[in-house]
């Protein structure tokens, strides 16, 4: 059974801060050029389980390929701590860069490979 927990996270300089309720026991390690270059470890949550606490005005956006994901990064430090987009089944979703959560032991996470290059 998933263990849902509320986590705080954000960018390196702390200008962008958010909270998300999610089960992060298993994370996605995607090999697409974007995720691989940034070293992203991802989990996903519906928008109802995500709250941007501060920093909306400090976000910039990057899109590529099918433009389904709004990759958001801090204008000050450049860190992409989350993204907004459309999931595989057409539902709105938030992609969380688990490396940017305050209270996560990355070594304890199970990593699930995802072949994003094949999309």
The pair phi, psi for residue 117, each rounded to 5°, is -65, -20
Determine the pLDDT at residue 87: 84
pLDDT, tens digit, 9 for 90 and up, residues 78-87: 999 999 999 8
| One CATH from 2.70.98.10, 1.10.540.10, 1.25.40.10, 2.170.150.70 for 5-118 | 2.170.150.70
Q: Is the pTM of this model over 0.85?
A: yes
């Amino acid at each position: 059974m998933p263990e849902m927990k509320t986590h705080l996270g954000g960018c390196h300089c702390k200008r962008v801060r958010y909270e998300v309720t999610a089960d992060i026991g298993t994370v996605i390690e995607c090999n697409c050029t974007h995720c691989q270059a940034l070293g992203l470890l991802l989990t996903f949550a519906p928008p109802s389980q995500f709250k941007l606490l501060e920093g909306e005005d400090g976000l910039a956006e990057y899109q590529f390929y099918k433009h389904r994901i709004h990759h958001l990064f801090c204008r000050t430090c450049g860190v992409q701590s989350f993204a907004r987009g459309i999931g595989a089944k057409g539902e709105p979703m938030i992609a969380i860069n688990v490396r940017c959560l305050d209270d996560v032991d990355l070594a304890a996470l199970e990593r699930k490979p995802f072949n994003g290059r094949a999309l």
